[in-house]
Amino acid sequence: DDNHMFFWAFESRNDPRNDPIILWLQGGPGGSSIMAGGLMELGACKFDQDLPLPLAGTFNSTIHNPYAWNANATVIFVDQPLDVGYSYGKRRVKRLNDAMDDLYAFLVRLFAARPEWGSRDFYIAGESYGGSWVPALGATIHRMQTTICLRGIMIGNGLVDQRTQRRGNWETACTSSGSGRAEPIFNETQCNHLAASVPRCEALMQACEDSGRDVNVCNLSEDWCFANGFDLLEQTPWNGYDLRINCTATPELCNRPSAAMLAWVESDEVRDHLGVDVARGPAQLVSQQVYKDFVANAEMGYPSHQWVTELLEAGVRVLVYAGNRDWMCTAPGLRLFVDNLVWTGNGPFRSAEYRQLYRETLGLPAAGGEAAVGYHKRHSLLSFVEIEAAGHMVPMAQPEVAQAMFKGWLTGSL
């Protein structure tokens, strides 16, 4: 059908014949899994942002990543939907369900080409809008067939349930514990405005859900909630993707890769080495067209919590983790999400205590006298981890801790 989905797989450095397989899905929607997740976060090699010119942007611009997640698993990064990163096709993908149809078809073909993978444990992980990609794909696999051995999903700082998660914005911006500094991020006037907007925003998001995803209702709800919530951060110098960073540019620009990295992924030598189809035009870290199409079709405001519930009830493990210095998908908001998620284990999970997470628990040596790295709690199939001193992209901000968390969850200790 002339659709071309590009992936980059890294075999496990430990036991590639038996270790599990992880599929990583970047958010956005429209973010490149290979460029962001692979080259900036958890891939086997990372782009060396510190390489001096003129070497930066040349073929040898990547370095070994000691904290790559393929230390104990085979990791697959796929650029999706179509027209994201190195993937392309003749049609535009504008809805989540259409993207999942393509992604599921991709996996079926991939596993048919690698039949030995069929017996391996399979996990899906992602961040940001991955809070929709990941459970949606998991539910698709669960419903369609059993040849892929889906064992669990991981959602990092994910957009899963905006109506619930937005309640966490006030704690993040208006308390010192949320801001991680002596003073809150917002002043008293801003905090009062944010607090007053929460009930209205929740009612609007509920109206979106009740409308059955009516585009006009959902987009009006989304616009109002952004203007009276998220957009308040633009009155401050702080980076919405990492509130530790004082950023004078707009938040979505602060974590963009350097021009050298973009030149690297576009170089003929790299594209030829990776087998990128010559018909593919310039690749982007984030496809603005895909993002705009999903927004226009009200895909951003509609929840995906129902698929998380479905997977838990089907015996699939779920890890939700969050960097606590993120504004886009806040840690307090995700705490509210997991505590209020409807499933048979809700009562015991909700009543369980959040406990400090120590480096020792993760099998890491103490560093500089700092032993605690966050908080966690778990009941049955559901785990939640909150990571200190990390923003929207935990593996980039705290690579050692993120890798240890990943290993711990795979082995069942978290």
Q: What is the dihedral of CA 347, 349, 352, 358, to 10 degrees?
A: 180
Q: Would you give the distance in Å from CA 375 to the centre of its chain?
A: 19
- Tokens found for residue 234: 């633009």
Give the whole-angstrom CA distance, residue 177 versus residue 170.
11
List of residues 6+ apart from 325 with CB closer than 8 A = 180, 242, 243, 244, 389, 390, 391, 397
- Tokens found for residue 409: 């969850």
Give the whole-angstrom CA distance, residue 40 versus residue 396.
6
Q: Which of 142, 305, 376, 392 is catalytic?
A: 392
Give the whole-angstrom CA distance, residue 161 versus residue 336.
10
Residue type, 394: V
Distances (CA, A) of 197 to 190, 221, 230, 232, 303: 11, 12, 11, 11, 20
Is 242 in the active site? no
Q: Specify the DSSP class assigned to residue 257.
A: P
Alpha helices in 247-304 (DSSP H): 251-254, 259-266, 268-274, 288-296
The residue count of the chain comes to 414
Is 142 in the active site? no
Q: Would you give the distance in Å from CA 217 to the centre of its chain?
A: 26
Q: Beta strand pairing status for 372-379 and 149-158?
A: unpaired
Cis bond before residue 348 (omega within 30° of 0): no
Q: Which of 19, 48, 161, 326 is catalytic?
A: 326
Give the whole-angstrom CA distance, residue 391 versus residue 329.
9
Q: Beta strand pairing status for 121-128 and 149-158?
A: parallel
Q: Specify the DSSP class assigned to residue 84.
A: S
Give the whole-angstrom CA distance, residue 175 versus residue 184.
5
Q: Which residue in the block uniquely carries the two structure tokens 């801001």?
A: 179
Is 128 in the active site? yes
Q: Which of 12, 61, 87, 128 is catalytic?
A: 128
Query: Phi and psi of 19, rounded to 5°?
Result: -65, 155
Alpha helices in 297-398 (DSSP H): 305-313, 331-340, 346-351, 394-397
Residues labelled catalytic: 128, 326, 392
